[in-house]
Amino acid sequence: MTKKKIKKKKYQLRLPCDSENLDLIREFVGKIAASMGFEEEEVHKIELAVDEASTNVIKHAYKGVNLNNKSLLIEVFTYPDRLEINVTDRGKGFDPGKIKDPDIKHYLKKMKRGGLGLYLIKSLMDQVTYNIKPGVKNQVKMIKYLS
Amino acid sequence: MDKFEVHRRDIEEISVLNIQGFLDAHTAPEFEEALQKLLREKRFKIIVNLEGLEYISSAGLGVFMGVIEDIRNHHGDLKICCANPKVFKVFDLLGFPSLYEFFDSEKEAVAAFANQQNATQ
């Protein structure tokens, strides 16, 4: 593979943890992805993955946490071959080791709601990694390559 | 700007919920309330028409999952119609078509309820 000279650009958005901001988050990442040349279907996948990661933060990260500034940080890095998005909070975190791919049919049969977000993120993005330091910095990093 | 709207129509014993716009964690409670209202009224034959739905996340899918057991325990069903390809893809990724019936048109969904009725008579 020939080595490309990487021009990195960074965009970031810090928002209060409120579900009313989800459309703003989708628009933010969707516009950047579209401007990089991602097809509409791929833009939708990226918007949905970031929505799911942000929803998890909004719903769970700060539950029972006493903190004045309950915020959510979205960082987007553009490269010639890929898009990287970090969703970061300072809440209580979670154990990524406990995340298992659900047997989705069995899961649906039990009619258990919720918890599908992480599975969707993995299905929609090319790479997903977690860096969890409860109370300090919890980060979901997602990567999508331009085809 | 209205990000999400739910409109209800009753066709005899079937209730149709037309949902439009963006169904995410912010708007899901509005959809859930509309469904719960039907259940409180003991209307268990439900069609959710997705014709105007532009976007759905797992929070929206969770609403469908949250009511289906109750509906089927009352010998009813929730059928889904008119999803655009982008929206259907999200249902499909999570395996919903194996548990819910999807139709291209509302007419077909209504007919499926009539056929079920005939089959049980």
Is residue A12 within a helix (H) or strand (E), and if so which, with residue range?
A: strand A9-16
Amino acid at A102: P
Q: Does the structure's ipTM exceed the value 0.95?
A: no
Residue A3 has pLDDT above 50, yes or no: no
Amino acid at B105: S
- Nearest residue to A28 via CA among A9, A42, A8, A14: A14
- Under CATH, to which class is A9-145 assigned? alpha beta
- Quick: pLDDT tens for B95-121: 899 989 999 999 999 999 988 877 776
Domain boundaries, given as residue ranges, for chain A: 9-145
Contact call for B65 and A41, based on CB within 8 A: no
Looking at the complex, report in whole angstroms how far the Cα of residue A115 sits from the nearest Cα belonging to chain B.
8
> Per CB distance under 8 Å, which residues of A are interface residues toward B?
19-20, 22-23, 26, 41, 44, 47-48, 51-52, 55, 58-59, 104-105, 108-109, 111-114, 116-117, 119-120, 123-124
- A76, A29 Cβ separation under 8 angstroms: yes
Please give the domain boundaries of chain B with CATH numbers for all domains: 4-120 (3.30.750.24)
Please give the mean pLDDT across all residues of chain B: 94
